[in-house]
C-alpha cells in the first residue's frame, strides 16, 4: 500500500480545570494499516523542536512526542493505559484513565474527542477533555 501524505491544518483544544489550551498549526496526515496519523511540530516555546504524532483508530488514540521531550500517551475507551514523559531532567510514568473516545475521520480529515484522568508518577494530575480537528490545508492539491 502506498503511503500518501496530505498537508493539513491541526487544531487541538484541551481543557483542564476550566483552563483551555489550544494548539493551532500546520501538519501532515497519512494513512497506514487502518489508522490515520497526524504529525506536527509543536508551536509552543516550551516544546520547541518537538514533533507530535497522533495515531487514530478504532481501538483508541495514541499521542507520541519526539525531540527534547519524549512522551507516549494512549487513550483506550473505558480503559487504563500506561505511558511516559521524558526530558533531560528526568522521566515520569504516565497513566491515563480514559472515559469516552469518539473518532470520526474520513481519510485525512475529521474530528476526535476524548476525556481522561491523568496520573503522573502515581499522583493525580487532573481531568482533561481533548478535541482534535483536522482539515485539509489551504492550497493542498
Q: DSSP 3-state assignment of 47?
A: helix
Count of C-beta atoms within a 10 Å radius of residue 61: 25
* DSSP letter assigned to residue 107: T
**Residue 3's pLDDT band (boundaries 50, 70, 90)?**
low
Q: Give me the sign of the Cα torsion angle 136, 64, 85, 58.
A: positive
Q: Could you report the per-residue pLDDT of 29-50, keeping only the tens digit for each?
A: 999 988 999 999 998 888 888 9
pTM (2 decimals)?
Answer: 0.91
First-last CA distance in the chain: 20
Amino acid at each position: 500500500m502506498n503511503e500518501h501524505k496530505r498537508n493539513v491544518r491541526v487544531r487541538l483544544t484541551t481543557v483542564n480545570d476550566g483552563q483551555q489550551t489550544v494548539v493551532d498549526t500546520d501538519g501532515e496526515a497519512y494513512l497506514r494499516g487502518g489508522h490515520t496519523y497526524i504529525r506536527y511540530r509543536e508551536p509552543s516555546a516550551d516544546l520547541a523542536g518537538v514533533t507530535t504524532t497522533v495515531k487514530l483508530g478504532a481501538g483508541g488514540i495514541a499521542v507520541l512526542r519526539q525531540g527534547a521531550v519524549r512522551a507516549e500517551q494512549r487513550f483506550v475507551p473505558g480503559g487504563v493505559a500506561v505511558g511516559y514523559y521524558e526530558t533531560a531532567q528526568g522521566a515520569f510514568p504516565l497513566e491515563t484513565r480514559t472515559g469516552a473516545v469518539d473518532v470520526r475521520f474520513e481519510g485525512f480529515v475529521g474530528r476526535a474527542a476524548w476525556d481522561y484522568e491523568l496520573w503522573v508518577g502515581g499522583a493525580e494530575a487532573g481531568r482533561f477533555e481533548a478535541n482534535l480537528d483536522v482539515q485539509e490545508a489551504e492550497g493542498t492539491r
